[in-house]
Amino acid sequence: MEQYVAYYRVSTAKQGKSGLGLAAQKEVVAKFIGSQRELLEEYVEIESGRKDNREVLWKAISHAKRTKAKLVIARLDRFSRRVSFISNLMEQGIGLTVAEIPTASDFQLHIFAALAQEERRLISDRTRAALHQAKKRGVILGENGKVLAEVNKRKSQKYLEEVRQKYGPEIRLMSCTDLKRRLKADGVEGPKGGGWYHAALSRLISLPSNPIP
């Protein structure tokens, strides 16, 4: 029975937590494995496809080498965006199987990867050309991003003011470490959700007692 080590990649932590993208990859691999093959281990990584020095990816590759198993991925674009990386892996003797196209030969995988790489290059070229033309027409690039950043800044400030009002003057007497521990114990999240960082804690301590209208 052929043995496989599975590798899945999602680009953001949100996709990893929600299963968005990840669930689909696992479903494709599960259909391929079926009852005729054995899946030794599954590795999940939250990282950009532009990076090839991914820690979890290399753990999966090492596992496949150690057990003489093949590496299985759901789709080629979940693995790498560079033809050279895929070629290098194959030259090391690592068997790579794409669950969506399990009968594809190494030669065909090279072709598919090359086509995908060229498509990304063309998209990038078209995007740069469009931005250049927009700039010539007087469009201020990044303006929407600046507006959004300002809105987020104001929301964060308002949230800190509300937390400051809740805890009162005693905040000024606390260190960032003690305040962080207190907020965590009370279940109060940071301005962006989740934990508190030093910069936000410092701002919270230095805020005036009365909120800014």
What's the pLDDT tens digit per position in 155-170? 888 888 888 887 777 7
18 found inside a domain: yes
Buried residues in 27-66 as b, exposed as e (16+ CB within 10 A): ebbeebbeeebebeebbebbbebeebebeebeebbebbee
What's the pLDDT tens digit per position in 75-108? 887 777 677 877 877 777 888 899 998 998 888 8
196 found inside a domain: yes
133 found inside a domain: no
132 found inside a domain: no
Domain boundary among 116, 151, 181: 116
What's the pLDDT tens digit per position in 102-128? 998 888 887 877 777 776 677 777 777
101 found inside a domain: yes
* pLDDT of 124: 73
DSSP category for residue 2: E
The answer to whether residues 57 and 154 belong to one domain is no
The answer to whether residues 111 and 24 belong to one domain is yes
Q: Is 97 exposed, middle or buried (0-12, 13-18, 19+ CB in 10 A)?
A: buried
The answer to whether residues 88 and 152 belong to one domain is no
Q: Which residue has the tokens 């070629």?
A: 87
The answer to whether residues 63 and 157 belong to one domain is no
Tell me how far apart the alpha carbons of residues 71 and 58 are, in angstroms, rounded to a whole number. 11
SS3 content of the chain, % helix, strand, coil (to 5): 60, 10, 30
Query: What CATH number is associated with residue 58?
Result: 3.40.50.1390
Q: For the chain, what is the domain count? A: 2
Query: Cα–Cα–Cα angle for 140, 145, 151, nearest 5°?
Result: 125
What's the pLDDT tens digit per position in 6-47? 999 887 655 555 454 788 899 999 999 998 999 999 999 887
* pLDDT of 62: 92
* pLDDT of 63: 94
The answer to whether residues 111 and 30 belong to one domain is yes
The answer to whether residues 153 and 103 belong to one domain is no
The residue range of the domain holding 43 is: 2-116
* pLDDT of 212: 45
The answer to whether residues 179 and 110 belong to one domain is no
pTM here is 0.55
135 found inside a domain: no
| pLDDT band (50, 70, 90) for residue 213 | very low
Selected residue with higher pLDDT from 174 and 103:
103
6 found inside a domain: yes
Domain boundary among 116, 131, 160: 116
The answer to whether residues 69 and 158 belong to one domain is no
* pLDDT of 91: 79
The answer to whether residues 105 and 163 belong to one domain is no
122 found inside a domain: no
